[in-house]
Amino acid sequence: MSSAAKVLLRAAVTGVMDKIDSVLRIALGGIQTNLRKLNDAANEIATAPARGAEPTDYDKALVDALEAQRAIEASAVVMRRADQALGTLLDALR
């Protein structure tokens, strides 16, 4: 392989790895944000009896918990796909 081709390949690989890194960071941010949201919802549900809340007062917290769960699952799928892409890229470079 010529030195020019090696430089182009290195630049292409670096670009792809930067994109994968960005995707992983965004997915991780989504997981962290939604874990906080899930924790807040769980805390709201757990402390409701102490506050004298009625069962109908749990609806927003339950919906928030389900939304956070689905968002965490979606971010995990994105992370898995990015990991697979990185693995494929590394396998191709061997």
Positive or negative, the CA dihedral 22, 25, 23, 82 is positive
71 CB-contact burial (10 Å; exposed 0-12 / middle 13-18 / buried 19+): middle
State the CB neighbour count (10 A cutoff) for residue 68. 21
CA atoms within 13 A on the CB side of 1: 8
pLDDT per residue rounded down to tens, the chain (94 residues):
677 766 667 777 888 889 999 999 999 999 999 999 999 999 999 998 888 878 777 899 999 999 999 999 999 999 999 999 989 988 887 7
The model's pTM: 0.82
What pLDDT, on the 0 to 100 scale, is given for residue 90? 84
What pLDDT, on the 0 to 100 scale, is given for residue 7? 67
